Amino acid sequence: MLTNESQKLITCITPKGKGLPIAKMLYEEKGINTVNINSGRGGGRRGRIEVDVLTVVISEKRADEIFEYIFFEAEVNKIHGGFMYQGNLQGATPFTLPDIPQKQ
């Protein structure tokens, strides 16, 4: 996303299995295809846990809207729901998937 527009990077750490459904909702409901999902493992007071790490590159204009959307849809607002933050991003490399005709 090399644009003159300011970009933000939203990062959401959720329990394992929540990342893909959120990415799908972001695409279907908000038209966002700049989502990456990684998995990780960590530890804390509850012992070892598996997590999904969802990152979204978004314009500064939409950052607060999308942050709030993810916050509630991923249930970060609930106990043990995860953790989120956002920060400035200088740029990102755009990518697009080719149109592939369906087989008939």
Domains defined along the chain, listed by start: 7-89 (3.30.70.120)
* Strand order across the 83-89 sheet: 35-44, 47-59, 7-15, 83-89
- Give residue 99's pLDDT: 78
- Per residue in 48-86, pLDDT tens? 889 999 999 998 999 999 999 999 999 999 988 899 999
pTM over 0.85: no
Report which of residues 17 and 90 the model is more confident about: 17
Separation of alpha carbons 75 and 39, rounded Å: 18
pLDDT at residue 1 tops 70: no
- Per residue in 33-53, pLDDT tens? 889 999 998 777 778 889 999
pLDDT at residue 102 tops 90: no
